[in-house]
A and B are shown apart, each in its own frame.
Chain A
Amino acid sequence: MTMHFRTLQALLSALVGGTALLLAVVASLFVYSAQYRQSAKESGEMVQSLVSTVERSAAVAVFAGNVEIATDVVSGLLSNEVVASATLKSNSGILAQRRRAEARAPVSLYRQVIRSPFQGDEPIGVLEIGSNADWVAERARRSALELVAWSFGLICLSALISLQTIRHLLSRHLTRAAQQLDEIEPGSSARVQLPQSLRPTEVGGLISKLNQLLDRIALNLETERRLRAGVEESARELQATQLELMRSEKMAALGSLVEGVAHQLGEPIGNSLSVVGTLAESTQAISKRAHDEIKRPELDAFLADVACGTDFVLRNVQRVSEFLHNFKQVAVEIRSEKPQRFELRNIVGEVLAAHQDSCESAAPAVVGDIAGGIELVSFPEPLKVAVGNLIENAMVHGLAGRQTGSVRVRGWRVDERSVRITVCDDGCGITAANLPRIFEPFFTTRFGTGGSGLGLYVVRNVVENVLGGAVHAESEDGKGTTITLDLPVQIGD
């Protein structure tokens, strides 16, 4: 059983009271036994002194055979409480005998030989005195009780005094300190106050430690406040910088987009324009002649020009159309159609087959290595575009102009929720300076030789925006390139 004390005073009261009681009980036992021994010893001494007091009278009584004096002696002895029984015997028989009615058996019997008062040491009788055991015990008990009562009283009194002192010195101040502490706001300059007299004590030490703690808390709070202000300030600055950066990035992207589009479209359209202009002039000239007469060679030459011109314009317009087709893929978005369930190996197989059909047999091999049984719920067409673009990119850039080398497409399940597809070539690789920029739109190392700079940009767009995955490239200049796609198994997961 555990007891709970709500105040220090109650706890101390219980402790001190219990201790006092225990001490009193132990002391009473100890004192009683000591007093009993003492009392027994004293009663012996008292009997001895009584004997020496009555010895002469007893001697006279025995000597003269005087029953009255003998009775007187014995009665006198019994008037002392320490005596339980007394017997005076002469040589010829008992002269007088008395026994206390209520007494139990005597503790001990004192025998005093009575000698003749007039004739040397001749023994003439015996005085037997039994001491009163009850009285001895009672006396010991009384004096033990008295002592214990006194000591208990004194202990209680001193406990009361010390409790009052503790209440006065400790509890009151501790309660007040707790109140003060309750009112102090963390970080404020207020501190717990304590009277001067208690400062060098343990309480003073405690309170001063508490105040030091409050100081430290205040310091920490101030530091934290400053730090937070600094962080907020820099966050604001960072945000502003980011916005600025984004704006300029957007502008730059727009600029490069516009530049790229203008470049891509400018040449074929310009070419077509001049050819169509030439054709228009030729047509005007021939139509003037048509009113007069047209010579056969002139007509033939005009027709040849028209055929050549239209062919040229057609090719240029085709280039524009192709470019616009590519360009449209950039802006591909999640279509309204639902994701489909498909086998990854089948989709990649289709891409590889389409690629095989479109290029010469001498080109480097493209190897598919896709683990079976990987089912995706995603958009197959954009995935085909991405993989196709990656293969195309590997062929055009990594293995450009080579007869040997290979492109390897691998695919496997990483865990329950994602698959990884890598497209790996052992071609010329990408320089460290170019590597971070390859996914930017219109970034191309083959500007003007047919590269639109949109291939990998489209891949990134498709993977990040449509398929919900991530793409990154690893390359070492001269040792090939690996592009990794991490895709979720279930779109929208």
Chain B
Amino acid sequence: MRKLILFLFALIGLVAPLHAQNTRLFVVVNAKNPIASLSEKEAVNLFLGRSKTFANGEYALPLDHATSSAVRKRFYYDLTGKPISEINAYWARLFFSGQGTPPRIVPDNEAMLLIIRNNPGAIGYFDYEPTGRQLKVVLTLDSR
């Protein structure tokens, strides 16, 4: 009987992460980056161009997915609660003023992973938890 209950818990423990993997987003930096974690506010400031550097003064290189991709839409929505159109309008406004540049857009997850592995200031996001020694998850965003 106890075995049965343990099995059930184990089952839940197995199923829950699988489910979580589909609904969560992971903000990832190079493993060499000294910061251990990132607040949502810091993430917003970095990805929306308010901060150019990390808390330790390291220059940041934010990376973005393709403009029309679903993960980008989800990321900004989960981070700020705003629709992607508003984010686009924001960048368009800043772009026309000639100041501030939006995060660099990469074509896919692999390209993003590559840039993060090779660049200690890079910061990106994924809809799965990427593995690898050169990577470090600093923020997990729950779905809103």
What residues of chain A have their CB less than 8 Å away from a CB belonging to chain B?
57, 60, 63-66, 68-69, 72, 117-120, 122
Contacts and interface: CB of A to CB of B under 8 A. Distances in A.
A69 B79 CA distance: 24
B44, B97, B100: which has the most chain A beta carbons within 10 Å? B97
A119 B44 contact: yes
Contact of A66 (B40, B44, B81, B94): B94
Contacts of B104: none
A63 B97 contact: no
Contact of A118 (B80, B93, B94, B99): B80
Contact of A65 (B40, B41, B50, B98): B50
B32 interface: no
A55 to B, nearest CB: 13
Contacts of B93: 57, 60, 69
B49, B86, B93: which has the most chain A beta carbons within 10 Å? B93
A60 B100 CA distance: 12
Interface string B97-139: 1111000000000000000000000000000000000000000
Given A65-B50, A117-B82, A118-B82, A60 B90 contact: yes
B41 to A, nearest CB: 6
A431 B93 CA distance: 150
A68 B99 CA distance: 8
Given A64-B94, A66-B100, A119-B80, 15 more contacts: A60-B90, A60-B94, A63-B50, A64-B49, A64-B50, A66-B99, A69-B93, A118-B48, A118-B79, A118-B80, A118-B81, A118-B82, A119-B40, A119-B41, A122-B41
B95 to A, nearest CB: 11
B80 A64 contact: no
A66 B41 contact: no
Contacts of B82: 117-118
Contacts of A66: 94, 97, 99-100
B99 to A, nearest CB: 5
Contact of A69 (B44, B49, B81, B97): B97
A65 B100 CA distance: 10
A64 B99 contact: yes
Interface residues of B, number: 18
B69 to A, nearest CB: 19
Contacts of A120: 81
Interface in B33-58: 40-41, 44, 48-50
Interface string B58-85: 0000000000000000000001111000
B131 to A, nearest CB: 30
Contacts of B40: 119
B48 A63 contact: yes
A120 B86 CA distance: 15
B64 to A, nearest CB: 15
28 contacts: A57-B93, A60-B90, A60-B93, A60-B94, A63-B48, A64-B49, A64-B94, A66-B94, A66-B97, A66-B99, A66-B100, A68-B97, A68-B98, A68-B99, A69-B93, A69-B97, A72-B97, A117-B82, A117-B90, A118-B44, A118-B80, A118-B81, A118-B82, A119-B40, A119-B41, A119-B44, A120-B81, A122-B41
A69 B41 CA distance: 22
B45 to A, nearest CB: 9
Contacts of A63: 48, 50
A186 B63 CA distance: 120
Contacts of A69: 93-94, 97
Contacts of B98: 68
Contacts of A72: 97
Contacts of B90: 60, 117
Contacts of B86: 117
Contacts of A64: 48-50, 94, 99-100
Nearest to A68: B97
A134 to B, nearest CB: 32
A63 B99 CA distance: 13
